[in-house]
């Protein structure tokens, strides 16, 4: 397997993984790149190149072993670890994420929700409890938090990130439309919803 | 300007644009690549390459004209057109998007919301009315809908897309975690929230 895969490949891997999981659950043992191509709308050449990067060669004229491919992706992405998420900010976006059904499919688990609103604290969303963010330190001693999902207003985002990092959280997934600084050794992914929209605009302007 | 810019560049452009807009509103007329680099955490070399792709050369030792750069991006992305969005599905995610404050900053306008829930129809969210999706055809004759934002359950997503396309919508922004088929000439962007999470997992697994 390649030591470092490209960003574009990394974007496609969740699509492959989701499909392989469904095939595997459905007892399909072999999949060809041309069949995957039809399901995913990615060229067979691209699929073969990506799988080669993942260290999977397939069998000429037959296809790929679904279970091997699936396990290869799991190892690459660290999905065998079952990462635990905490969502901070239980507004509409936080609630939508708490209910997002693809997280469990991918092996991620929402283990805690946090807010500062008295009305929300103590409630459960999709079976997960909302804790007082002021008690983050105490909660983090009892529950695993690998990734902190930030869905608070801009002005609070940096402070929330700092607090998460101070209790040992190593990954930050930021939905607040603002830049967050993190020290070395902490992973951050900024989810910017305007990126998708800008792509659409670019294509529409060419029509 | 290049005829076709790369996907990776297209991902960075919204970041540039947001920053240039803030600088322009703040009366800053010149920006250097090294200053932008500090703001955005992108290398100065990458920024200079991207701006060259946008047809902007800058002034050696001084920097780039903020207004020219901003206008160049607007032209490239078709942002001068002020695209109108309709959001279909006023659940938590739809409501979060209806309230997303970066859309107006980027020049996008939410012009209508749709749902099938009697309790929601007629209400306003962030000043925008919720219409009955069964009346899409009539509403689309009175209001501009360039882009349909799909935030309905998986099982409804394809039908909603078909209905949108049948009333002349040319762009689909799909948040439902399912594949939607569209005819040629229609742009589609699938927003897959698990992509960001998978990237975090990949980095955390390497720690």
**Which among A11, A193, A199 is the nearest to B100, CB-wise?**
A193
Listed in sequence order, the residues at least 6 apart from A175 whose beta carbon sits closer than 8 Å to its beta carbon are A93, A97, A149, A150, A151, A191, A193
Write out pLDDT tens, residues B65-82: 999 999 888 888 888 788
Residue B3 has pLDDT above 60, yes or no: no
Write out pLDDT tens, residues B11-20: 788 778 888 9
Taking CA B132 as the corner, what is the angle to CA B83 and CA A205, rounded to the nearest 5 degrees?
A: 15
Tell me what percent of the residues of chain B surpass a pLDDT of 70.
97
Query: What residues of B are in contact with residue A77 (Cβ under 8 Å)?
Result: 198, 201-202, 205
Instruction: Confirm if A106 and B197 have CB atoms less than 8 A apart.
Output: yes
pLDDT at A60: 79
What integer is the mean pLDDT of B147-170? Answer: 96
DSSP secondary structure letter of residue B80: G
Residue B207 has pLDDT above 80, yes or no: no
pLDDT at A27: 84
Locate tokens 């059904």: which residue? A101
**Which among B14, B17, B192 is the nearest to A14, CB-wise?**
B192
Write out pLDDT tens, residues A147-192: 999 999 999 999 999 999 999 999 999 999 888 999 999 999 888 7
Instruction: Confirm if B87 and B97 have CB atoms less than 8 A apart.
Output: yes
Listed in sequence order, the residues at least 6 apart from B194 whose beta carbon sits closer than 8 Å to its beta carbon are A14, A18, A102, A103, A106, A108, B177
Q: Do A106 and B198 touch (CB under 8 A)?
A: yes
pLDDT at A129: 97
**Which among B102, B179, B192 is the nearest to A194, CB-wise?**
B102
Residue-wise DSSP of A95-112: HHHHT-THHHHHT-EEEE
Q: Do A197 and B76 touch (CB under 8 A)?
A: no
Q: What is the number of alpha carbons within 13 Å of residue B138 lying toward its C-beta? A: 6
Decide: helix, strand or coil at residue B75: helix
Tell me the torsion sign for CA atoms B176, B180, B186, B188.
positive
Tell me the torsion sign for CA atoms A135, A137, A142, A143.
positive
Query: What residues of B are in contact with residue A171 (Cβ under 8 Å)?
Result: 200-201, 203-204
């Amino acid at each position: 397997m390649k030591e470092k895969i490209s960003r574009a490949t990394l974007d496609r891997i969740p699509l492959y993984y989701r499909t392989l999981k469904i095939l595997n659950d459905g007892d399909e043992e072999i999949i060809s790149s041309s069949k995957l191509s039809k399901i995913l709308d990615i060229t067979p050449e691209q699929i073969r190149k990506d799988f080669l990067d993942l260290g999977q060669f397939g069998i000429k004229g037959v296809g790929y072993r679904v279970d091997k491919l699936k396990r290869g992706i799991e190892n690459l992405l660290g999905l065998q670890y079952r990462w635990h998420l905490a969502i901070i900010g239980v507004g509409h976006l936080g609630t939508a994420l708490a209910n997002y059904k693809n997280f469990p499919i991918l092996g991620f688990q929402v283990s805690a929700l946090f807010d500062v609103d008295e009305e929300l604290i103590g409630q459960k969303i999709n079976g997960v409890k909302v804790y007082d963010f002021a008690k983050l330190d105490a909660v983090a001693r009892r529950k695993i938090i690998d990734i902190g999902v930030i869905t608070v207003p801009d002005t609070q985002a940096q402070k929330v990130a700092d607090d998460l990092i101070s209790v040992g959280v190593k990954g930050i997934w930021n939905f607040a439309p603002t830049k967050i600084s993190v020290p070395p050794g902490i992973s951050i992914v900024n989810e910017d919803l305007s990126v998708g929209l800008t792509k659409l605009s670019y294509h529409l302007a060419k029509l």
